[in-house]
Amino acid sequence: MTTTRTRGTARDVPRATRDRAVPSAAPGSGTARAGGAGGTRGAGGANSIAGAGSAGSIAGARGAGSIAGARGAGGAGLALALLSAATFGTSGTFASALIRAGWSPAGAVTVRVALAALILTVPAVAQLRGRRALLRRGSARIWGGATAYGLVGVAGCQLCYFNAIQRMPVGVALLLEYLGTVLVIGWLWLRHGQRPRRLTVAGAVTAIGGLAMMLDLTGPGGISPAGVVWGLLAAVSLAIYFVLSASSGEDQLPPVVMAWAGMCVGAVILAAGGFAGLLPLTTHAGDVTLLGYHVSWIVPVLGLSLVASAVAYVAGIGAARRLGAKLASFIGMAEVLFAVLFAWLLLHQLPTPMQFAGGALILAGVALVRVDEL
């Protein structure tokens, strides 16, 4: 939606519905009006009126089909958003196995992103076949967007987050990072005139409050001003990730190609940060303990790269393009819910009553934002 939304008008229609329904319905509506006018002027008034009724019926059928298609796209977007959140939520299980075996968090993330880029290479090249005209027509803009996605949405978010957790508890850093959802709302308001309504504001407050209840905000160590700055930069990076992911149109790269390009750029940036001493890159080629079993280090690395990166990022881009940046960013908070769920089911770490309540608030906040989109 690119204009201020006013209740009771076509602007209240969700973006996916308006983008698809209005172009189909408008020509039919125009035909109906033209037919009706012709009927009042010409001698064959009955035939003109009948023609107007037929045109109106066709327009109505087209509009209904477009709305049904938009609802289907919204359902697919919701499924992809939940898939992205769930697969992102597995990263803690896989990464913790590596970290316990002597890997540094930055080392695990760098290998994760680099291997994900390698995994996506063949599907991305296959998706680019037959798209030479697209690449020639907008190569600078297309690859510029992909580079920004990898630089900020992949590498920047990781760099800022790791610098934040070195200076403050992990829970506080995550809470600051997920303030990116609020920044998405602010961007849509300032850039596209989409002023947040009461349900969206209520949903944002509810979801952020629930997130604070789910995270451990009392970890060891104090909170430094530098840590807060890094956490807020992570929030900005997260917001840019959702905004860039939601970019849609005929001139956009397919989600697989977009994710692949972002992973390539992100891997280069993270590796450069490691070699420059900004990130401690430590790895260990030995057996690790995963879910109580001794397995090769390759197992959690594949889990991080294939499940928690390749699938997660591709699904996230597909979801954002169907749902829009705002709703996709709120559903993205479900990553924390899935992480706690997987820790409960796989690691037998029972959530506290406070975490259960926080999870319910996150779901309630997402529901409020979703209702506001309808």
What confidence score (pLDDT) does residue 303 get?
Answer: 95
Which residues face 289 on adjacent strands? 294
Instruction: Say whether pLDDT at 33 is over 50.
Output: no
What confidence score (pLDDT) does residue 214 get?
Answer: 85
Helices (H), 276-352: 298-302, 312-323, 325-331, 334-347
Structure token pair of residue 261 = 């390009």
| 222 within 8 A of 92, measured Cβ to Cβ | no
Query: Which is more confidently placed, 158 or 201?
Result: 201
What number of other Cβ atoms are within 10 A of residue 65's Cβ? 14
Calpha distance 104→179 (Å, rounded): 26
pTM of the model: 0.76
What confidence score (pLDDT) does residue 221 get?
Answer: 61
239 Cβ neighbours under 8 A, 6+ residues apart: 180, 181, 183, 184, 187, 329
pLDDT tens track for 326-352: 999 999 999 989 988 888 888 788 888
| 150 within 8 A of 269, measured Cβ to Cβ | yes
